[in-house]
C-alpha cells in the first residue's frame, strides 16, 4: 500500500471534485479508458471526490463532457507539481545543482596525504615519489590505484617491509613498516672469515665451516677473527685452502650506562590559564586571525585542527586551527634519595633498552651507586649472552 502511494506521489496526481447526476457514468468511462481512479468518496448528493493521475486527467475532460459532469480540481499533489513550483526559481535550482556538483567534485579529490610509520625514510622522499606517480594533493581519487602505489613504493624503497595504501574518503593514508636492512650477504662460494661483532668473552664456538680460532673462555675484541676461512693444511704441499667460514659464536657481552642521580627535579605544571590563537586555512594558505600576542612567558601549546570531516571519511581542505597556549610554572622539587635513584634508574633503563640488541639475552643486571666530585652517579651494567659472529671478507676490515 505504501509503495503504491509513493508511486502515485512520484508520478503526481490531482484530487478532483466531479459534480453531476451521472457521476457513475463518468467513473465508468474513465475506467474503460484505462484511467486509474482511487479513493472515490461521495461528498454530496451530486458530488464525488476522487484522485486521478495527471496523465489520466488529460483524458478526463472529454469523459466529463460525455457524462455531463463538471470537473473541478481541488488540489494538485505529488512531485511533478513540487518540481514545477521550483522550476520558476532558477537561482535556487542552479544553486542546488551547483552544490551537488561541488560536493561531488570536492569529495572525489585527495585532499590530504598522511604518511605514518616511517623512521628512516623521510616523508619528503616518499612524497616526492608519490608526486612522480601523479599523486598529490588535489589529484583525482579515481586515478589512484592503491595496490599499484603500494607495490611501487615497496620497489623503490628497500627499507620498507610493508606498505599499505588506503583511500579513506578524501584522505590518502599511507602506512609503512620499515624492516631492518639485512647485512650484506657474502655469496657462499666466496671465502670469508667470521669475526667478532663486539667485545666479549666466548661461551661457545660452533664452526660449521672453517677453522675455529678461539675457544671457550677467550676474551675477544671487536673485529677479531673467530672462525677463519683460511685453512692451512698440515702438509705444506697441499697449500692453503680458502673456505666460506660459517658458524655461531655465543659470547658474554656487557653494556653499561652511567647516569647522574639528580638532586632535584623541575616540574612544569599548568597554571590553568590559557590563551587561544585562531587561524583559518584553505589548502596550504593559512590566515592568522588577529588575536593579540601571547601573554605567557612559559607555556606549552596544543594545536587543534578543526577541519570539517564528513562522516569520518571526507576531510575537506579548509578549516580552523586553534592553537591553545597553556601557561606553565616551574616548581623545583627536592628529591628524596630513594626517589632520585629510582629516577636515575629509569633513565638508565630507557637508554639500555635502546643499546642492547633485541636478540641478546639478558643474563644479569647490576646497579652500582658511586660518588665522584660531589655528585652521585648510578652505573647500571647488563650482562648478556648473544651471538657475536659476523661474516667478513678475508683481508677486509
Is residue 249 a contact partner of residue 205, using CB atoms and an 8 Å limit? yes
At its nearest, how many Å lie between other proteins and the CB of residue 32? 6
At its nearest, how many Å lie between other proteins and the CB of residue 23? 7
Nearer to other proteins, 30 or 321 (CB): 30
Transcribe 372-393 into DSSP letters: ETTEEEEEEEEEEEEE-EEEEE
In the numeric block, the cell 659464536 is attached to 249
Nearer to other proteins, 42 or 72 (CB): 42
At its nearest, how many Å lie between other proteins and the CB of residue 24? 5
- Establish how many alpha carbons lie within 13 A of residue 360's alpha carbon, considering only the half-sphere containing its beta carbon: 24
Strands 112-116 and 171-178: parallel
Can residue 46 be called a binding residue for other proteins (CB under 8 A)? no
Segment 226-229 long-range contacts (CB within 8 Å, at least 24 positions apart): 226/193, 226/194, 226/195, 226/196, 226/202, 226/388, 226/389, 227/193, 227/194, 227/389, 228/193, 228/194, 229/191, 229/192, 229/193, 229/194, 229/394
Site for other proteins in 15-34 (CB under 8 A): 23-24, 27-28, 31-32, 34
Strands 314-315 and 375-387: unpaired
Residue choice 15, 17, 20, 36 for contact with other proteins (CB under 8 A): 36
At its nearest, how many Å lie between other proteins and the CB of residue 50? 8
Nearer to other proteins, 44 or 396 (CB): 44
Residue choice 7, 21, 38, 318 for contact with other proteins (CB under 8 A): 38
Residue choice 6, 10, 40, 98 for contact with other proteins (CB under 8 A): 40
Can residue 186 be called a binding residue for other proteins (CB under 8 A)? no
Nearer to other proteins, 50 or 227 (CB): 50
At its nearest, how many Å lie between other proteins and the CB of residue 41? 5
Can residue 37 be called a binding residue for other proteins (CB under 8 A)? yes
Distances from the Cα of 129 to the Cα of 142, 157, 213, angstroms: 19, 10, 49
At its nearest, how many Å lie between other proteins and the CB of residue 31? 5
Residue among 9, 26, 15 nearest 61 (CA): 26
Residue choice 39, 132, 350, 364 for contact with other proteins (CB under 8 A): 39
Site for other proteins in 47-76 (CB under 8 A): 48, 50
Task: Identify the burial level of 282 via C-beta atoms within 10 angstroms of its C-beta, where 0-12 means exposed, 13-18 middle and 19 or more buried.
Answer: exposed
In the complex, the residues that contact other proteins under the rule CB under 8 A are 23-24, 27-28, 31-32, 34, 36-42, 48, 50
Amino acid at each position: 500500500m505504501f509503495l503504491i502511494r509513493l508511486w502515485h506521489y512520484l508520478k503526481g496526481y490531482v484530487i478532483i471534485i466531479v459534480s453531476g447526476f451521472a457521476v457513475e457514468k463518468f467513473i465508468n468511462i474513465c475506467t474503460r479508458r484505462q484511467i486509474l481512479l482511487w479513493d472515490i468518496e461521495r461528498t454530496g448528493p451530486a458530488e464525488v471526490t476522487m484522485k486521478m493521475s495527471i496523465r489520466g486527467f488529460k483524458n478526463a475532460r472529454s469523459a466529463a463532457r460525455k457524462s455531463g459532469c463538471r470537473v473541478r480540481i481541488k488540489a494538485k499533489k505529488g512531485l511533478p507539481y513540487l518540481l514545477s513550483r521550483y522550476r520558476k526559481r532558477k537561482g535556487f535550482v542552479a544553486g542546488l545543482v551547483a552544490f551537488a556538483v561541488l560536493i561531488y567534485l570536492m569529495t572525489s579529490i585527495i585532499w590530504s596525504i598522511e604518511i605514518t610509520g616511517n623512521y628512516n625514510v623521510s616523508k619528503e622522499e616518499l612524497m616526492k615519489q608519490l608526486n612522480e606517480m601523479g599523486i598529490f594533493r588535489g589529484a583525482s581519487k579515481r586515478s589512484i590505484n592503491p595496490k599499484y602505489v603500494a607495490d611501487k613504493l615497496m620497489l623503490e624503497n628497500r627499507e620498507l617491509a610493508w606498505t599499505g595504501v588506503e583511500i579513506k574518503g578524501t584522505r590518502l593514508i599511507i602506512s609503512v613498516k620499515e624492516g631492518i636492512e639485512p647485512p650484506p650477504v657474502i655469496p657462499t662460494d666466496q671465502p670469508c672469515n667470521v669475526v667478532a661483532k663486539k667485545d666479549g668473552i666466548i661461551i661457545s664456538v660452533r664452526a660449521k665451516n672453517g677453522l675455529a680460532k678461539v675457544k671457550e673462555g677467550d676474551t675477544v675484541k671487536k673485529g677479531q677473527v673467530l672462525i677463519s676461512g683460511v685453512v692451512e693444511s698440515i702438509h705444506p704441499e697441499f697449500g692453503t685452502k680458502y673456505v666460506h667460514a660459517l658458524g655461531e659464536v655465543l659470547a658474554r657481552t656487557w653494556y653499561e650506562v652511567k647516569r647522574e642521580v639528580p638532586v632535584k627535579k623541575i616540574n612544569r605544571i599548568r597554571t590553568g590559564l590559557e590563551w587561544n590563537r585562531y587561524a583559518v586555512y584553505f589548502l596550504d594558505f593559512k590566515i592568522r586571525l588577529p588575536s593579540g600576542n601571547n601573554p605567557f612567558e612559559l607555556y606549552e601549546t596544543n594545536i587543534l585542527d578543526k577541519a570539517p570531516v564528513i562522516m569520518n571519511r571526507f576531510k575537506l581542505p579548509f578549516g580552523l586551527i586553534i592553537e591553545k597556549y597553556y601557561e606553565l610554572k616551574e616548581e623545583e622539587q627536592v628529591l628524596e634519595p630513594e626517589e632520585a635513584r629510582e629516577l636515575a634508574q629509569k633513565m638508565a633503563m630507557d637508554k639500555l633498552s635502546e643499546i642492547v640488541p633485541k636478540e641478546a639475552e639478558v643474563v644479569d643486571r647490576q646497579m652500582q651507586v658511586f660518588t665522584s666530585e660531589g655528585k652521585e652517579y648510578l652505573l647500571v651494567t647488563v650482562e648478556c649472552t648473544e651471538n657475536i659472529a659476523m661474516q667478513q671478507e678475508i683481508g677486509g676490515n
